[in-house]
Amino acid sequence: KQEVTQIPAALSVPEGENLVLNCSFTDSAIYNLQWFRQDPGKGLTSLLLIQSSQREQTSGRLNASLDKSSGRSTLYIAASQPGDSATYLCAARDQGGSEKLVFGKGTKLTVNP
């Protein structure tokens, strides 16, 4: 059974700092891994999608990496801004059986001006 863990649960940084969010998963049989952002009371906004055959994806100040062999993904945010404050969720799309997304509990990021 796939399990996804995100560390840390919460993170507070000053504006301008570069930061890394961690995500680990127990079963490497995945189609892809997706990073989302969720603002309070809102739905999920997709940030980056990494296919199982890829090592990383970049979008603007965001870079996500995937290491299937170790069951890890990281989301790197460069030059953080107060507008980046949100909860960041990673989700692995299972390959065997259900093909559902399995989510971590998220990392709540606060960027202080």
Residues found near other proteins in the complex (CB under 8 A):
31-32, 34, 36, 41-46, 49, 51, 89, 91, 93, 95, 97-106
Per DSSP, the three-state class of 83 is helix
The least distance separating other proteins from the CB of residue 49, rounded to whole angstroms, comes to 4
If we measure between CA atoms, which residue out of 91, 60, 92 comes closest to residue 77?
A: 60
Judge whether 78 and 11 are in contact, CB under 8 Å: no
The least distance separating other proteins from the CB of residue 98, rounded to whole angstroms, comes to 4
46/81 with CB nearer other proteins: 46
The least distance separating other proteins from the CB of residue 5, rounded to whole angstroms, comes to 11
14/41 with CB nearer other proteins: 41
3-state DSSP: the chain helix, strand, coil percent, rounded to 5? 5, 60, 40
85/95 with CB nearer other proteins: 95
Q: Report which DSSP code applies to 111.
A: E
